[in-house]
Chains A and B, each alone.
Chain A
Amino acid sequence: MTREDKEKGLWRSIFPINFKTYNTYHSEGHTGQYYMLPPAHIQKLFPYGLPPRFQLQIKTFNEGCVMVRPPALELISYLKRADYSKPPLRYVLYGDIGTGKTMSLCHALHYCYTQGWLIVHIPDAHLWVKNCKELLPSSSRPSRFDQPIQASQWLKNFKITNERFLSKVQLDRYVWTKRESTEKGQPLGELIDQGVNRMKSSSDVVGAVLRELRLQAGGATEGEGAFKLAVAVDGVNALWGKTSLKKEDRTMCEPEELTLIHNLRKMMKNNWSGGAILTALSQTGSVFKPRSAYLPNELLGEEGFDSMEPFVPVSVSNYNEKEFESCYLYYLDRNWLQHPHSRSEEGKKELIFLCNKNPSILERLCAAL
């Protein structure tokens, strides 16, 4: 179904979802056009993954439409061409605030999902380094700290996203306490259930899950049990920055001392094979970073940069003319712009001036109109 805007002569199309659409409809010529994410996928894949304002927009418009933009296209093309017998490539999306890094990340992740990969998605790593209500000393290692609430929540989301894989992945033996242990050969689903039920050891369960996936991704045998792993972390600079958490003796907690962060850092290394690591930097939630910092070196810091490289940096910038037009027409089409002046040429120029074609600012402006 396509709707033409006869005055402007620009296309704004909504495509029905089809697994083949990624190949046919996601080429260079389709930048600026809107791609509809099927509701079933959104529910499964992104229980908490999408930016909060976009979730509101989905509710309002009753559909989730993502604009096809060059950064996402670039990522998808890399993913298509990469060789999965080699160590995973790390992609870092960077850009100024509000330019669409998280959206591009989600878009690329959706592509992975449609290709049948196993998704490990951490929607915002910053949530794990600040505002944690409970910080328990780790059950397995004395010097580390657990975050049971965050860990169990993540496990729940993981379960929803990757239901198909839960019975397929087989595990090693893990001992949790004197009485509980997971035997060798049990499926992943059981491990996750245990982690959700037993909050105390949930962070360790997360660690175990990640380790298993790492070892088994891109597995040696084809067919049953072989899967590709997509690790997507938003706000990856939280892993190497500072935390705002305090230990019991009122000293600051280092990210290294948190079990979740420690395990995630291990995941970021490229000593496994059969997948890809997609990350996005984020200044918005970061702790103790200046607002103007957006380049990888500034946000990741020395340590982070050394750990992440060699990576492929992908730049995300504000809308260009065509994309802005497309977004504007989409809002018009959805009757989102109620103010009569916004439909005129002058109103459009005002909008351009006010938001400087920054996606998030444009969205907030239009919400008020």
Chain B
Amino acid sequence: MKLLTHNMLTSHVKGVTKGYPLLIKATEVKVNEVEFNPQFVSRMIPKLEWSALVQAAEELGHRQDLPGELVADYETNEEFLKKVHRILLEVEVLEGCLQCPESGREFPISRGIPNMLLNEDEA
């Protein structure tokens, strides 16, 4: 699971109103090489929940020096975009789980696949 995906995932347990962002508990993390496309990154940033991304990076120990708030003129700041590229696409959680911040319900991650299926009573 990449952090870009994590940024969109939310808990949908019945009755939960604050199911985002999901907390990450990773037991195995991998870093890949993905081709850097500055336009991709700069256009993606406005679609993200920035604080959730930073929090997730922190939880994985890969925050490095990612700022808590977006820098101005990030579109042309290649160094910054490269950092964001890395955290969005290159860091992957292979094993672990995602936790609903409100209900505590855990969703397992195995082979990089988060299993978000709910039981009948939770749906």
Q: Do A and B come from one complex?
A: no
